[in-house]
Amino acid sequence: MPHVSFSFKGWVSGASVDKATDTQTLEDVDVSGLTDDEFVQQLNDGKLLLSLDDCLSDCKKSEVEIFDYESY
């Protein structure tokens, strides 16, 4: 199976998020009870992390460009 490295850029709009990763424990936490503003604040404060894979699989709109392929 080939392995590659690559760069990417893009955006996601309207992703429904019900879990995120706590940056201290690295465990998944349920964020479904937070308001949009509370959730964004915790992301900006570095308390929570999002999985790009989870967001891309359940969003209204996204555009991701993958470029600069290299063998691993």
Taking CA 51 as the corner, what is the angle to CA 48 and CA 53, rounded to the nearest 5 degrees? 170
pLDDT at position 5 is 94
- Model confidence, pTM: 0.78
Domain ranges, residue 39: 4-71
pLDDT for res 20: 95
| Total of domains in the chain | 1
pLDDT tens-digit profile, the chain (72 residues): 888 999 999 999 888 899 999 999 999 999 999 999 999 999 999 999 999 888 888 788 899 999 999 998
Q: Are 12 and 60 in contact (CB under 8 A)?
A: no
pLDDT at 42: 97
Q: Residue 55: what pLDDT? A: 86
